[in-house]
Structure 1
Amino acid sequence: MSTKYPKPSKSELIAKMNEGLDHFLAFINQFSEAQLLELKDAVGWNGRDHITHLAAWVEGIGALLRREDRWAAMGLAGQILSNGQSDYDAMNAQIADQQSHLSPAEAREGLIAAHERTVAAVDQLDEADLLLPYGRFVAPFTEDSGKPVWNYVAGNSFGHYNQHTPWIKAIVNQ
């Protein structure tokens, strides 16, 4: 999620988020439940796992914007660290394991709901809030360095949906 995005206005960001979800849903809607559940990649993920992963990360960014515990909103028991750094592989494995009981349709509905909550969180912010650094949304809400939070919104919504599209395509086209 290190892609650079041009700075959007709040309305442009929301429009890109919604457009990204619409494109992603149109993409996954072409596949059957069996294609999204039974076929797996080399690490054991199926299409449903990718969808629940996306739902968790967009949910987390929505919680962050509401100044809530991002990791708890994602279903993680605290940020998983390895050598003092976030262990994203372990976090993603925990998310996939927790959501493995969902059908692809349930995962899709969860993604839509998480996306809508995050759009609502963005809509509650002022334009200036979107320029604040990530750390201003994490207790104690005083960090002034780092990228503007809108970068994280983009990277955890439409940017993330785009990132996972070819991976899901590769799984279902086996």
Structure 2
Amino acid sequence: MITNFLLDHSALVPVAILLVALVCAVLGLLFAGRRRILWALAGVSLVPVFALTLVPAGRTIDEVMCTVQFSLPTLGAVELLANVALFLPPVCFAALASRRPLTMFAAGSALSALIEALQAFVPAIGRACDTNDWLMNTIGAVLGALLATGTAWLVNRRAQSGSSTGAMSS
């Protein structure tokens, strides 16, 4: 239903990505310092990743293959931009929970590569491997790591201004 809506209104796809980023930032701010909750959010946000990439598609691909192409998305490229949005939340929440945005970026990119390899070498799931999917997922991982870094900076700044305000009022 959401996919059909976005396909019919492809100009809204960047808005959808911004909404995903905004929700991640707000939840990151709300649960700053609550690492278990952030890990749980990272885990929950992996559910759509696995559901949309590894659940059998109801068709079988007869050969092992992977489409090799690298193209940057246009604002109307719904599938490509959806791949960006797919990896933004798990990387953002994992980076906030672990306090290691570069490591979580690398893990997100590696997970995407693993998923594409599984799609290529397990034709029974009926999914098509595509290097563009990996590239867009990796861009989503970059955005998630950057968003986590910015969110952590805001949390630290808020904590510092709160401690300096408290010291001034004493």
**What is the TM-score when the length of structure 1 is the normalising length?**
0.29
Q: Which has the larger radius of gyration?
A: 2
Q: Which has the higher contact order (CA 8 A, sep 6+)?
A: 1
